[in-house]
Amino acid sequence: MALTPNYVRIATEEAWAPAWLLERYRKLIAEKPASWDPGFRSLWGFFTGATPRATQLAARIQDLGAQRIADMDASGIAKQLVLLTAPGVQVFDAPTGTALARDANDELNSSMKKYPERYAALAAIAPQDPRNAVKELERCIGLGFKGLVVNSHIQGTYLDEPKYWEILEAAAALDVPLYIHPNTPPASMIEPFLPRGLDGAMYGFAVETGLHLLRIIQAGLFDRFPKLRIVVGHLGEGLPFWLFRLDFMHASMVRANRYEGVKPLKKKPSDYLKENVWVTTSGMQWAPAILFCQQVLGVDRVLYAMDYPYQFVPEEVKVTDELPIPDADKKKLYQTNAERVFRL
């Protein structure tokens, strides 16, 4: 597929995992009791298995060389913003997670240097070790990384909790975006999802990640850190559809003084979603949904992503190419929004 002359396609939620991390995932599954993190076991018990879907994904997700470049060329993708796949290093104890994050970032940095025109990257951190997570973020930004990724919940906890605020403060101070990437729901909420296979990309990812972002908004963290910028995938994990109801119900709860954890905000919840949050099209190459998000959030707030290699369907690029929008807006979607948000 030839590149359209008016723009280049930048894909902004593209997953990677080194072979050694997948081996550690296998070891966790083998050694931990069956009740330990059922979401992790569901996700990586499958993708470290021997089915055709699992083996194909495992081969692609480890590759940062010829295979990935060939796939990008086949689908017309000029550049990938690469991030460490869920759950990253967030399932390990704090010292182990911190050490593994550094190893992963160093390996990814080497590939960026080898293919500087094809890859940019987000830094992996171990948020379960907040102080060292900030140090690793600062190191990676110095190396040329474009932001950081947190694979949603941190062993059942969320970034709105005060112990994690120094990570948010650092991202705001460094003026780099935080990508909240989905994870399977934690043990405390996953039980009703599992019997019908709803724990992953079909629904559980969106529920858990949308919850995470709403907790940050409800906690007033965009008031505390007004320069904080957050990116979420899958067209906002359903939240753009809820803008009216979020505003209505938040105002109602504040008036009633119903919850200790819900206080007045300087703005409406929808304002933060329009001013501090960007969404990507990862896994959601569906014209009505893309157009809706552009309408309610603004054309400057929606970025293209493929969700490689989990949803590597080259034909889906055609859906975005054929959106009934002006060429200038299409260039924003594919290229200039990403360049601005991630300073590519």
Report, as residue numbers or ranges, the catalytic residues.
307
Estimate the share of the chain in helix, then strand, then coil, as percent rounded to the nearest 5: 55, 10, 35
Do 131 and 169 touch, CB atoms closer than 8 A?
Answer: no
Contact between 16 and 308 (Cβ < 8 Å): no
Q: How many C-beta neighbours within 10 Å does residue 191 have?
A: 11
Residue 70: how many other CB atoms lie within 10 Å: 11
- Written as six digits, the tokens of 252 are 């109602």
Taking CA atoms, 212 is separated from 49, 56, 151, 219, in Å, by 29, 30, 10, 11
CB atoms within 10 A of CB 50: 7
Going by C-alpha positions, the residue among 264, 266, 179 that lies closest to residue 226 is 266
SS3 call for 237: helix
**Distance (Å, rounded) from C-alpha 203 to C-alpha 207?**
6
The rounded distance, in Å, linking the Cα atoms of 290 and 299 is: 10
Which residue has tokens 């079909």? 202
Helix (H) / strand (E) element for 277: namely strand 277-280
The residues pairing with 16 across neighbouring beta strands, listed in sequence order, are 84
Max Cα-Cα span within the chain: 59
Whose structure tokens read 């959106």? 323
Which residues, at least 6 apart from 214, have a Cβ–Cβ distance to it below 8 Å?
A: 239, 246, 269
End-to-end CA distance of the chain: give it in Å, rounded. 23
